[in-house]
Amino acid sequence: MSENLEQSFVAQLQANQNIIHKICRLYTDGEDAHKDLFQEITIQLWKAYPKFRGDSKFSTWTYRVALNTAITLYRKTKRTISTVDYESHQHFVRDVDYNYEEEEQIKLMYKAVYQLNDIEKALVFMYLEDKDYQEIAETLGISEVNARVKMNRIKGKLKKILNP
């Protein structure tokens, strides 16, 4: 029975692991920290799994546990300043139709997002993931109106970082 549980968990997690990778990408800098947080999130998911009843999707549930781990439970082992060189830890290949100006802007945006605090990053993350404000509010435990207000403020903050 418990082996079955393990099997179904691992299979589902394997299929949904990009959610965790994306969170790690926002909350850590460097490959080691990425792996470290990935592991902690995996452990927390596994610990919570027996109570997962499937009344929500596995992915939705993963979002919540993973974000909670990144924001609340995770202890950064090393203190590093978060002005990371964006390219240094991206593991993907660039598109063929390379637009230099756009590329520069995206790079600057990533740098700006890294300067936000943990809660602001969570809002931006869910925004990038196309979550609606109701889900954002429910995940963080704040009201929908305030989530909206905060997101607008974050946009303002990002603008300020980009054009000081």
Q: Which residues bind another protein (CB under 8 A)?
A: 6, 9-11, 13-14, 17-18, 21-22, 25, 38-40, 42-44, 46-48, 51-52, 61, 64-65, 67-69, 71-76, 90-93, 95, 102, 105-106, 108-110, 113, 117-120, 122, 127-128, 130, 138-143, 146-147, 149-150, 155, 158-159, 162
Which of residues 83 and 106 has its CB atom nearest to another protein in the complex?
106
Residues 37, 43: Cα–Cα separation, whole Å: 10
Q: How far apart are CA 160 and CA 164, in angstroms?
A: 5
Report, in Å, the least distance between residue 32 CB and another protein: 14
Identify whether the C-beta of residue 29 lies closer than 8 Å to the C-beta of residue 84: yes
Between 85 and 128, CB nearer to another protein = 128
Q: Find the shortest distance in angstroms from Cβ 123 to another protein.
A: 9
The DSSP element (H or E) to which 123 belongs, if any, is helix 118-128
Contacts (Cβ under 8 Å, ≥6 apart) of 155: none
